[in-house]
Amino acid sequence: MGEMCKKSILAISIVLVSICAGVASTSKSFEQWSLKQAIDVLSRSSWARQETFTHVVGGIGSGIEGEKEIYNTFFVRFLSAAPIRKAYARVQQLQIQNKDLDRGERTRLAEKIQRGLNLDLSDWIVVAVTFRSNNARQESRVERFFETQTTETIKNRAFLSTKDFPKLEIQAYFPPIEQSVGAKFVFPRIVGGVKVVNPEDETVAFELVVPGADPILRATFNIEEMLVQGELVI
């Protein structure tokens, strides 16, 4: 991947972070979404998955923090999908409304939000991943993993899986700058003249191997549910 391409993706990453801090109705502007509707898009929409793995610890009061069950949850979102970016933008808008900011600062933040919404991601599919656990040590361990990885070290651990591309490697990786967005995995939309994801496909899956987080993360998305007015949004 060329230097210009890398710089473009890095710019995308920075802007996406700057706007961040059932599905909301698509019949009205995202600027009319309530906070709950925006959060629903980020957590329960066609472009978001929560994968939770439970590890039962035997004995009474046995876990590192005294817990009996450890819950490890990965949040996987298609950050390149406009509904996800709109949801992040709406959360940020509502946060701005509740802050005591002068007019200049409000204008600056509003411009950042708009730049994020207008990003050209026609060549890239971006997946964002965050992690939460009720075990503080496990959460810290996985967070350190995300923070210390590079494109080279993680490229054999993260894949996009479709009918035509069962194990597509990433083109770029960006560690989390802000935890609510998480780590970002960038894949090409077209390889060898062939679209990676097609409306005719049944599913697309994101796979990630994280040391110490067993089993392997596999978040599967239904393609039909990602169609908006007949167009694939991803």
Dig out the tokens for 169 from the structure: 């490697």
* Residue 68: partners with Cβ closer than 8 Å, 6 or more residues away: 56, 57, 59, 60, 61, 62
Q: Which single residue is written with the structure tokens 């035509």?
A: 164
* Residue 21: partners with Cβ closer than 8 Å, 6 or more residues away: 88, 91, 92, 95, 178, 180
Q: Write out the residue range of the structural domain in which residue 30 sits.
A: 3-232
pTM: 0.81
Amino acid (one-letter) located at 53: F
Structure confidence at residue 215 (pLDDT): 72
The alpha carbons of the chain give a radius of gyration, in whole angstroms, of 18
Dig out the tokens for 163 from the structure: 């009918």
Structure confidence at residue 47 (pLDDT): 97
Tell me which residues of the chain have a pLDDT lower than 70: 1-28, 58-67, 213-214
**Number of structural domains in the chain:** 1
